Amino acid sequence: MWSTGELRSVALLTLALRAAGLAATGLNVHETGLRVEGRASVGVDALVLNPLPLRAALGRHDVVVVPGFLATCRQQVVTLGRGGSDWSAVALAAALRASRCELIKDVPGYFTAGPQTTPGAALIDALDYTTALEMADAGCPLVQRQAIDHARRSHLPLIVRSFDSLGTRVA
C-alpha cells in the first residue's frame, strides 16, 4: 500500500506528458527491472538492474516514467530508503550508459555550509565523489550515500541542481 504514492505520481506524469503530445508510458516497479539482491543496506552491489525492459519501453515511447525509491526483492516491492529516488535514478542511468545523471532538488546544489544557518555559504560548482561521500557521511542529506557510491563505481557524473540552477557537478 505504501508504494501507491509513487505509482500514482508515475500515472499522473504519464497522463500529463501524453496530454502535451508526447508518446509516454509509465512502468510499475516490477516492469523497471530494478531489484535488490539481499537487503538494500548491504551496499551498492545489492542493487541490480536488468535494462532490457526499460530499453524495450524506450524503443516504443519517447518518454518512459518509472517510480523512484522502489525496487523488487524476491517478488515483493521494497524501498531504497530515505533518498532512494536518487539511488534508483543513478542505477537506471548507469545501466543505460547515460553520459550523466541529473538529480533535481529543491536547492541549487551543494554549498560550502548550510545556507539556512550560515550567511555567505556559497554554491559549490564541482565536487569529487570522495568529497561528496564524506559530506554524506558527515550528515549532509542532499544526495543519498548509496547513490553517490553507485555513481562513483559506475563512473557516472552527477549533476545536483534545482530547476533554475546549473547546480553542482559530482565526478
User: Where along the chain do its domains lie?
Assistant: 1-81, 100-171
pTM value?
0.88
Give the closest residue to 71 by CA, choosing from 26, 40, 103, 105.
40
d(CA 16, CA 11): 9
Give kind and range of the element (H or E) at residue 78.
strand 76-79
Phi, psi at residue 95, to the nearest 5°? Answer: -65, -30
pLDDT per residue rounded down to tens, the chain (171 residues): 667 888 899 999 999 999 999 999 999 999 999 988 865 454 555 788 889 999 999 999 999 999 988 888 888 888 888 888 999 999 999 999 999 999 999 999 999 988 888 889 999 999 999 999 999 999 999 999 999 999 999 999 999 999 999 999 999
63-65/34-36 β-pairing: unpaired
Contact 143, 129 (CB under 8 A): no
| Residues in a beta bridge with 159 | 102, 169
